[in-house]
Chains A and B, each alone.
Chain A
Amino acid sequence: MPDIPFAHASKGRSGTRSALPVREPLDRSWAWGSATGRGVEVCVIDSGVEAELLDDGSAFTMEQRGDEWHVVPDAPNDTAGHGTACAGIIRSLAPDCRLTSVRILTGNLRSSGQALAAALSWAIQERFQLINLSLSTRKPDIKEQLHDMADTAWYSGVTLVTAAHNSPVISYPWRFPSVLSVGSHAVADAEHLQWNPTPPVDFFAYGVDVPVNWIGGATRSVSGNSFAAPHVTGMCARILEAHPKFGTSQLRIVLSCIADNLE
């Protein structure tokens, strides 16, 4: 296995079919067939997304009023490039999904955790089927809020696809079992998926030297678990088009069954 220069990455381990609750192997033609994510509602909570990747009226940002953060409509706008990269990955796998962006980078670093919590709460209330969170927080005062929200999402049919931290630290919400958490492998294949037999990371997806869209129509090569998570979001969008009634638990099982590292 090639070296991966950050934490929560694949060690190249195999999973065993005997750990999965299905009698027959599932294949990708059953999981998604020719699905392109059509009609599946996906929310990207990140640095914003450039216009060409978004549907009309689907860009939002955070506004602070007193101590509270609110989600408000915005022109499509990405101030860092990160969100555009994630959205581009999702679109590459699920070109026909409906993408919405909530831009949560703020000028007030001391309340950035509250902005994240408010954005996530809004996205769950809006019942997006998939929420891509290629970020996490280490702030302890936000942990319980995020935990409750992750549980609410699970019960509401909203699946959070979250990136594990790039450093060997504990952060949230990717550590919660009610979300799908994603680390990186270095196999240059957007559809190569590894199931992790040793959680808390659930899956590994393509996250090293990934070619991505960037601000202003540019491209970059980027590395990090941030870019692995949207690959799983894209695959989930395909699965949800083919199987619209699936929630997080079903998606976790299907993804495990179609992983490339099962023996």
Chain B
Amino acid sequence: MMNQHGEILRSTVRLARLAFSAAAASVFLYDEERGMLVFEASSGIGEEFVLGAAIAPDAGVAGWVANTGESAIIRGAASDPRFDTAFARGTGFVPDVLMAAPVEFEGEVLGVLEVLDPKSDTIGGTSAVDLLTELAGQCGAALALILQDRAAQRRRAEPDGAVERLAQVLDRLNPAQETAVNDLFEVIERLTVR
């Protein structure tokens, strides 16, 4: 699962950089336990410097996008020596144009996809922000599936968790009890189906 997770993110940033002929593209994911946005994948200039770096989720353009779920286009950073992002701090590369879109699923922001110095505002007639937003949305949907699966795996692996305890109970059942428990499961499934 970790490999699939990483591959989706790497593929997303590569695709974003290529689609916009951009200098670089990066994706941050929100780490809920640390309360930070963490660089998970990067493509292009500086890609080897920023992986694993973390920024506060209420700071910078990425923080704005993460908090609001809105995309953003900011120009003019290169002319300003005070420009300050985790990416610029890590690499020394200061983009002139920064485009960012939320990586989200069902209204929950999972992270932020950024493209630095894209060559064009339109790609085959589609606006760059729309394309970036779609790309970020696809990444979000794939990540959400993986995160759900990872949570399920974790639940199954817990030694004292509900899944393991239930397995131990089932192992001790006689055939009549097993039939009764199956009936009970059917009722539970009906009660919990969305």
Tell me what chain A mostly uses at the interface: helix, strand, loop, or mixed.
Answer: loop
Whether A220 pairs with B74 at a CB distance below 8 angstroms is yes
Q: How many residues of B contact A (CB 8 A)?
A: 37
Do A109 and B130 contact each other (CB < 8 Å), given the known contacts A221-B75, A222-B73? no
Is A136 close to B, CB under 8 A?
yes
Q: How many residues of A contact B (CB 8 A)?
A: 41
Across-interface contacts of B57 in A (CB, < 8 A): 106-109
**What string of 1s and 0s marks CB contacts (under 8 Å) between A124-142 and chain B?**
0000000000011111100
In the complex, residue of chain A having the shortest beta-carbon distance to the beta carbon of B99: A5
Is B72 close to A, CB under 8 A?
yes
Q: How far is the CA of A166 from the CA of B77 in the complex (A)?
A: 21
Whether A7 pairs with B130 at a CB distance below 8 angstroms is yes
**What string of 1s and 0s marks CB contacts (under 8 Å) between A71-114 and chain B?**
00000000111100000000000000000000011111110100
Whether B64 pairs with A5 at a CB distance below 8 angstroms is no
Is B32 close to A, CB under 8 A?
yes
Is A219 close to B, CB under 8 A?
yes
**What string of 1s and 0s marks CB contacts (under 8 Å) between B43-61 and chain A?**
0000000000000111111
Across-interface contacts of B63 in A (CB, < 8 A): 47, 79-80, 105
Q: How far is the CA of A15 from the CA of B56 in the complex (A)?
A: 45
Q: Which B131-172 residues have C-beta < 8 A from chain A?
A: 133
Q: How far is the CA of A171 from the CA of B69 in the complex (A)?
A: 10
Selected contact of A166 from candidates B32, B70, B82, B83, CB within 8 Å = B70
Is B124 close to A, CB under 8 A?
no
Whether A109 pairs with B73 at a CB distance below 8 angstroms is no
Across-interface contacts of A145 in B (CB, < 8 A): none
Across-interface contacts of A80 in B (CB, < 8 A): 58-61, 63-64
Do A5 and B82 contact each other (CB < 8 Å), given the known contacts A136-B70, A166-B71, A220-B75? no
Is A224 close to B, CB under 8 A?
yes
Whether B75 pairs with A5 at a CB distance below 8 angstroms is no
Q: How far is the CA of A167 from the CA of B35 in the complex (A)?
A: 26
With a 10 A CB-CB cut-off, give which of A3, A110, A167, A209 has the most chain B CB atoms: A167
Whether B75 pairs with A222 at a CB distance below 8 angstroms is yes
Across-interface contacts of A218 in B (CB, < 8 A): 80, 82-83
Whether B70 pairs with A226 at a CB distance below 8 angstroms is yes
Is B129 close to A, CB under 8 A?
yes
Whether A224 pairs with B71 at a CB distance below 8 angstroms is yes
Q: How far is the CA of A35 from the CA of B127 in the complex (A)?
A: 38
Known: A6-B130, A81-B64, A224-B72. 9 other contacts (CB 8 A): A4-B127, A81-B74, A106-B67, A109-B32, A109-B66, A109-B67, A112-B68, A167-B133, A220-B77
A-B contact pairs, 10 of them (CB 8 A): A5-B122, A80-B59, A104-B67, A105-B58, A109-B66, A136-B70, A137-B68, A167-B129, A219-B80, A220-B80
- Closest CB pairs A-B (n = 3): A5-B127, A105-B58, A221-B75
- Name A's B-contacting residues (CB within 8 A): 3-7, 47, 79-82, 104-110, 112, 135-140, 165-168, 171, 209, 214-216, 218-224, 226
